[in-house]
Structure 1
Amino acid sequence: MPSFVDRPAQHYVGARATIAVTEFATIADQIPRIIGLLAQHGLAPAGAPFFRYLVIHPGMRFTAEACVPVEGEFTPEAPLITGVVPAGKYVLSTYVGHPDGLFGATKAVLDWGAAEGVRWDSTEAEDGEHWAGRLEVLNTNPLEQPDPTQWSTDLLFHVAE
């Protein structure tokens, strides 16, 4: 059952791409690169890596970022970027299972929100649905738990104030 949580703003270093669902690995593969870059500069991640979905485009395409949370100032070289996930109230649902099930888990949260009258912090535009904060937080390190059916992912959706 989803719940409401308050989250502080979260700074991150990320890589952004507009891709089809079938191309997701191109963005997901950036996380180890970003963690390695931070380590080269003596920085450790300030939390679990996550994916931030900025725009859900028609036709199963989306603009997303692979993100690693950081504290303090760090400016990476392009094409890496920095960003901030906004503070505020979020709906949280934790999914445990293979990443192939995330689409269904996300739909379940959005359907729950519609039934409960939750107003998401998102806007419709010609190019798709723009989100202020729509995250998949990767709670499981695949190097420590190689079985993807055991991976835990927090789904977080920013609520309109």
Structure 2
Amino acid sequence: MPEIIEVAERPYVALRGTVRMDEISAFADRMHEVIGWLAAREIAPNDAPFFRYEVVDMAAGLVLEIGFPVDDVHSGEGEIVTGVLPAGRYASVEHHGHPDGLMAATRDLLAWGEQEGIEWDAEGDKWVSRLEIYKSDPREVPSMADWDTELQFKLKD
């Protein structure tokens, strides 16, 4: 069952791109670029990796960032971007299972929000903060069917 949580701001480093739905897994495979960038600068992630959906437009493509929260704001370069995930109230729900199930979990969270009269922090297809947080480490949980992912969608202030 979804819940409303309060989240502090979180600096992050990510790889940014525009992808079609069928390109998400190939884009996710580039996570090693973020890891390499962080390692070269001796910057340690302080929490689980995430996907941030900034624009969700099924026809034109998704503006997507894959990255990690870090302790401080840094300067990015090229496709590596930095920023701060905003503080505020988020609708949150846990998904246990293969990431293929996240589309249904997202649909259910959005439907719950509509039923509850929730106002998302979004303007049309552009979201302020819409996250999938991958809490399972693939080195420790090799079966994607056993992964835990948290959806966090920011509410309007």
Between Structure 1 and Structure 2, how many residues are aligned?
A: 157
Q: Is the 8 A contact 2:129 2:153 kept in 1?
A: yes
1:96-111 alignment runs, 5 A limit: 96-111=96-111
Give, in angstroms, the shift of residue 73 of structure 1.
4.1
Change (3 A) 1:38 1:58: closer
Give, in angstroms, the shift of residue 37 of structure 1.
2.1
Distance 1:41 1:74 in 2: 10
Distance 1:74 1:17 in 2: 19
SS of residue matched to 1:81: strand
Q: Is the 8 A contact 1:15 1:27 kept in 2?
A: no
Change (3 A) 1:107 1:15: same
SS of residue matched to 2:11: strand
Change (3 A) 1:41 1:71: same
Q: Is the 8 A contact 2:10 2:85 kept in 1?
A: yes
TM-score (norm 2): 0.94
* 1:27 counterpart residue number: 27
* 1:88 counterpart residue number: 88
SS of residue matched to 1:108: helix
Q: Could you list the runs of 4 or more consecutive aligned residues of structure 1 that deviate by over 3 angstroms after TM superposition?
A: none
Structural RMSD (CA):
1.3
- Asked if residue 145 in structure 1 is aligned to residue 141 in structure 2, the reply is yes
Q: Identical aligned pairs, as a percentage?
A: 38
1:45-103 per-residue CA deviation (whole Å, 9 max, x = no partner) reads 01111000001113383111001111124323312111111110000000000011000
